[in-house]
Each structure stands twice: as structure tokens, then as C-alpha cells.
Chain A
Amino acid sequence: KQEVTQIPAALSVPEGENLVLNCSFTDSAIYNLQWFRQDPGKGLTSLLLIQSSQREQTSGRLNASLDKSSGRSTLYIAASQPGDSATYLCAVSRYGGSQGNLIFGKGTKLSVKP
């Protein structure tokens, strides 16, 4: 059974710092991995999608990497800003008929202080 773990559960950093959020998964047979952000009481905003054949994806100050063999992904945020404060969620989907079945981690709650 696929399990997704995100470490740390919470992180507080000063504005301007570069930071890394970690995601690990137990079954390497994934179809893709997706990073989301969630603001309190709100829905999820998709940040980056990495297909299983890819090693990384970049969008603005965000860079996500994927190492399928070790079951790990990292989300790198450059020059953090107070507006980046949110919970960041990692989710994986598997090969086969249930490619739409995303398995989520519990998230990392990020606080960026001015």
C-alpha cells in the first residue's frame, strides 16, 4: 500500500531564505507526482506536476525534483516571501487503471516571517 510522508510537518523561516520541503513515498511504481499549496480553509492550488519519466520541473521560484528509485521528491523554494506561507502537499498517483487516484501526504505547514 502506497504511503506518502512529508517532513518536516511545520517549518518557520525568515523572509528571503531558500528552503527545501521533502516528500517520500513507499512504492516507486508511480505515474506522476504533484505538489500543491493550500491556504487555510481553502482548496488546493497545483504548483508542479512531475511525470515519472522526468527528474525535475521548474516554475518561477519553485523547483521540484523526483528520484523515483529512492522514493523521494523535494520542493525547493528560492527567496521565500511572506506570501509563500501555506501548507504544501505532495501527492503521487500510480500506474495502471487508477492513475487518477492521488495519495497525499499530511503536508508541511510553512510560515515565512517578514
Chain B
Amino acid sequence: ETGVTQTPRHLVMGMTNKKSLKCEQHLGHNAMYWYKQSAKKPLELMFVYSLEERVENNSVPSRFSPECPNSSHLFLHLHTLQPEDSALYLCASSQFGNEQFFGPGTRLTVL
């Protein structure tokens, strides 16, 4: 696999479920990012990891919990989400501060 991959591509969950989104980058980058894209709103940065350390948390509710076990993998753990959390969740990677490359996204629907 090349570039940035994300699984699953689509996810439907109830408000009481716990699920995780996975991102993997094959580009040798040292930084990874989670973004949220909702209808009618600009892309919003959620979390930034540089060298596996979280360097940015943009006031994201605690029901979203990121994890970066190594420089190639990034997870977003989800629990007790709300319907307004339904969105496209995008992962990206870069050499920190340089051009960012995005994955295809996970389309999340919260019922």
C-alpha cells in the first residue's frame, strides 16, 4: 500500500457504541493529523501528533480520543458520540510543517 490509508471507509454507529478509526501512512513522515469535515463548514483540525507526541488539540470533546502508537499509525477512538458528530473524518501526514498528504477519509454516521 502507498500513501495514507484509512479504515473503515464507512461506519454507522449508535450513540452508545465504542468504535475506532485507523490511519496508516507509508510515506516515512513524522507528523500525523486528524481532521473533521462537516457539511457547509470548513475542514477543522482536531489533533496533531509530531514524533508520536500530541502537539495540538483543538478543543475537541473528550468523546474523541486519539492514539499514536508509532509514527506510521494513528487511531481515533470514539465513544458515546452524538448525531452532530456525523461527518467525514480525514487523516493526513507530513514531515512536520511541510506538505500534508490526506487519506480517503471515513464517512461516519451516528444514529
Q: A101–B104 contact, CB under 8 A? A: no
Closest chain B residue to A95 by CB distance? B97
User: For residue A46, which residues in chain B have a CB less than 8 angstroms away from its CB?
Assistant: 99-102
Nearest Cβ distance between residue A31 and chain B, in whole angstroms? 6
User: For residue A13, which residues in chain B have a CB less than 8 angstroms away from its CB?
Assistant: none
The B80-97 residues at the A interface (CB cut-off 8 A) are 88, 90, 92, 94, 96-97
Closest chain A residue to B58 by CB distance? A101
Interface residues in A, total, Cβ within 8 A: 26
Q: A101–B45 contact, CB under 8 A? A: yes
User: For residue B97, which residues in chain A have a CB less than 8 angstroms away from its CB?
Assistant: 31-32, 93, 99-100
What is the bound-complex CA distance between A49 and B97, given in angstroms?
Answer: 11
Asked if B98 is an interface residue, CB under 8 A from chain A, the answer is yes
Most-contacted residue by chain B among A4, A49, A104, A107 (CB, 10 A): A104
Among candidates B42, B98, B107, residue contacting A41 with C-beta atoms closer than 8 Å:
B107
Q: A105–B56 contact, CB under 8 A? A: no
Q: B100–A102 contact, CB under 8 A? A: yes
Among candidates B43, B56, B98, B103, residue contacting A104 with C-beta atoms closer than 8 Å:
B43
Most-contacted residue by chain B among A4, A44, A101 (CB, 10 A): A44
Closest chain A residue to B6 by CB distance? A43
Nearest Cβ distance between residue B100 and chain A, in whole angstroms? 6
Q: B48–A100 contact, CB under 8 A? A: yes
Asked if A34 is an interface residue, CB under 8 A from chain B, the answer is yes
